């Protein structure tokens, strides 16, 4: 069984992760994981914190001489900002009282969190609710990406909208252009408009949301299952993407757009193999985003996530004080203006996690060679049935 758990507060000592279920024999290094952590920290519109942090995941266990052992993989990401928060986030009781945060921020876990966990200070809630936790998920996603590479699965993402600025999407995006764009947009003109929109939002004390798209290629047919609601791959992808901070909408393939089409234009016609370079079960289109009946169908998995604008605004919204119930300005803590570019990298991680879990369900294996043997044996069986009844 594949699973993982993260721990850590935004301004605590660091983030910890335990990953279970990755087979033995997979090559893995801290440098490999660092690359995705670096990508998460980039992007126009982030706060100064990203420059302080320069995340790196230390592999604490589960890897020896560059290969996974099949035992739990523990990772630790030190919070470099911790030095500035030693008192406020001390594990031991402190002598001098630390100022409480009592101005509730709309759009955050603040209000529900203090009520539910019986707190008189928002700090214990906001520290864990913060999207800092996504650094740990990206580290897990990098381990999963490494695993999926063994199957020829590759996962990319790009920004398709920031605020009201949209990028045209036709065919496969230019992934190199995405990685060099400050907003991770494949279209340079749209990227420039997005940068200008972020500048305008920052100057106006405001923030912006947007939409990212993730594409996973090389995904084998048959991950997930139609037989139970909680095994359906589209449902699992939606949950995983929706769990990213500030994500308020998820689409698989054509998504909401399919609702406006007649049925004749909303499906993906199955073509004879010889019409598509000998590929098995090719399709004329990919409106389903690689998922039918809760299973991958061999086409690229395509999912989109829509992020609301960042809730914490320099020009703070009116709110209420936790102690008095009276009106105040919402608490302002150094905040990003736009996190859409980073969200693409986080969304890649979540898709990698879901596909890894589903691939291990299907192919199993305690050593990665065993997993790959099972995978190759399966591929031998998936062609046309040769006239069987
Ligand atoms: C990478 C990333 C960074 C974020 N940074 C901030 C931030 O600096 N300020 C803020 O108010 N919200 C930020 N958010 C969004 C909040 O974490 C999120 O809106 C909040 O936790 C409430 O969760 P919800 O919007 O999913 O309901 C960020 C989200 C992501 C994905």
What pLDDT score was predicted for residue 276? 63
- pLDDT bin (cut points 50, 70, 90) of residue 51 is low
Average pLDDT over the chain reads 94
- pTM higher than the cut 0.95: yes
Q: What distance in Å separates the CA atoms of residue 224 and residue 292, rounded to the nearest whole number?
A: 10
What pLDDT score was predicted for residue 210? 98
Which ligand 1 atom sits closest to the C-alpha of 109?
A: 22
Which ligand 1 atom sits closest to the C-alpha of 105?
A: 11
Burial label for 389, CB within 10 Å (0-12, 13-18, 19+), is exposed
What pLDDT score was predicted for residue 6? 98
**Which of 48, 113, 137, 311 maximizes ligand 1 atoms within 8 Å of its Cβ, making it the mutation to test the pocket?**
311
Q: What distance in Å separates the CA atoms of residue 344 and residue 303, rounded to the nearest whole number?
A: 11
What pLDDT score was predicted for residue 50? 63
- pLDDT bin (cut points 50, 70, 90) of residue 260 is very high
Q: What distance in Å separates the CA atoms of residue 22 and residue 368, rounded to the nearest whole number?
A: 8
**Which of 111, 130, 340, 342 maximizes ligand 1 atoms within 8 Å of its Cβ, making it the mutation to test the pocket?**
130
Averaged pLDDT, 14-37: 98
What pLDDT score was predicted for residue 383? 86
What pLDDT score was predicted for residue 196? 97
Q: Is the pLDDT of residue 25 over 90?
A: yes
What's the per-residue H, E or C state across the chain? CCEEEEECCCCCCEEEEEEECCCECCECCHHHHHHHHHHHHCCCCCCCHHHHHCCCEEEEECEECCEECCCCEEEEEECHHHHHHCCCCCCCCCCCCCCCCCECCCCCCHHHHHHHCCCCCCHHHHHHHCCCHHHHHHHHHHHHHHHHHCCCCEEEEEEEEECCEECCCCCCCCHHHHHHCCCCCCCHHHHHHHHHHHHHHHHCCCCCCEEEEEEEECCCCCCECCCCHHHCHHHHHHHHHHCCCCEEEEEECCHHHHHHCCHHHCCCCECCHHHCCCCCCCECCCCCCCEECCEECCCCEEEEEEECCCCCCCCCCEEEECCCCCEEECCCCCCCCCCHHHHHHHHHHHHHHHHHHHHHHHHCCCEHHHHHHHHHHHHCCCCCCCCCC
Q: Which structure tokens are listed for 198?
A: 């972020």
Averaged pLDDT, 280-288: 93
Q: Which residue has the tokens 């099972």?
A: 374
Q: 131 CA distance to ligand 1 centroid (A)?
A: 5
81-92 residue pLDDT tens: 899 999 999 999
Averaged pLDDT, 129-144: 98
What pLDDT score was predicted for residue 389? 46
Q: Which structure tokens are listed for 321?
A: 């004080």
What pLDDT score was predicted for residue 48? 67
Q: What distance in Å separates the CA atoms of residue 85 and residue 92, rounded to the nearest whole number?
A: 13
Q: Is the pLDDT of residue 163 over 80?
A: yes
What pLDDT score was predicted for residue 27? 98
């Amino acid at each position: 069984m594949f699973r993982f758990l993260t721990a850590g507060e935004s301004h605590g000592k660091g983030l910890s992760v335990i990953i279970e279920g990755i087979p033995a024999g997979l090559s893995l290094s801290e440098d490999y994981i660092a690359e995705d952590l670096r990508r998460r920290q980039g992007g126009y519109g982030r706060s100064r914190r990203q420059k302080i942090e320069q995340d790196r995941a230390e592999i604490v266990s589960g890897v020896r001489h560059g290969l996974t052992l099949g035992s739990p993989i523990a990772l630790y990401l030190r919070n470099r900002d911790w030095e500035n928060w030693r008192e406020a986030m001390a594990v031991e009781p402190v002598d001098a009282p630390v100022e409480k945060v009592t101005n509730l921020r709309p759009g955050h876990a603040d209000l529900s969190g203090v009520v539910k966990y019986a707190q008189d200070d928002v700090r214990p809630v906001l520290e864990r609710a913060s999207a800092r936790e996504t650094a740990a998920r990206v580290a897990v996603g990098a381990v999963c990406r490494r695993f999926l590479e063994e199957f020829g699965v590759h996962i990319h993402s790009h920004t398709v909208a920031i605020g009201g600025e949209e990028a045209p999407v036709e065919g496969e995006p230019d992934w190199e252009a995405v990685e060099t764009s400050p907003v991770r947009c494949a279209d340079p003109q749209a990227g420039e408009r997005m940068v200008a929109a972020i500048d305008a939002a920052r100057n106006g004390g405001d923030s912006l949301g947007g939409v990212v798209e993730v594409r996973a290629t090389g995904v084998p047919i048959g991950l997930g299952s139609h037989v139970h609601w909680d095994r359906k791959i589209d449902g699992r992808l939606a949950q995983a993407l929706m769990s990213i901070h500030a994500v308020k909408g998820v689409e698989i393939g054509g998504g909401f757009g399919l609702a406006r089409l007649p049925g004749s234009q909303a499906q993906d016609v199955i073509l004879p193999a010889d019409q598509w370079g000998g590929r098995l079960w090719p399709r004329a289109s990919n409106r389903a985003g690689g998922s039918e009946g809760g299973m991958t169908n061999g086409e690229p998995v395509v999912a989109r996530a829509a992020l609301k604008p960042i809730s914490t605004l320099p020009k703070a919204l009116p709110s209420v004080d936790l102690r008095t119930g009276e009106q105040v300005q919402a608490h302002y803590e150094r905040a990003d203006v736009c996190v859409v570019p980073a969200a693409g990298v986080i969304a890649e991680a979540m898709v990698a996690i879901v596909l890894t879990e589903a691939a291990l369900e299907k192919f199993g294996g305690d050593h990665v060679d065993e997993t790959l043997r099972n995978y190759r044996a399966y591929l031998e069986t998936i062609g046309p049935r040769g006239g069987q009844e």
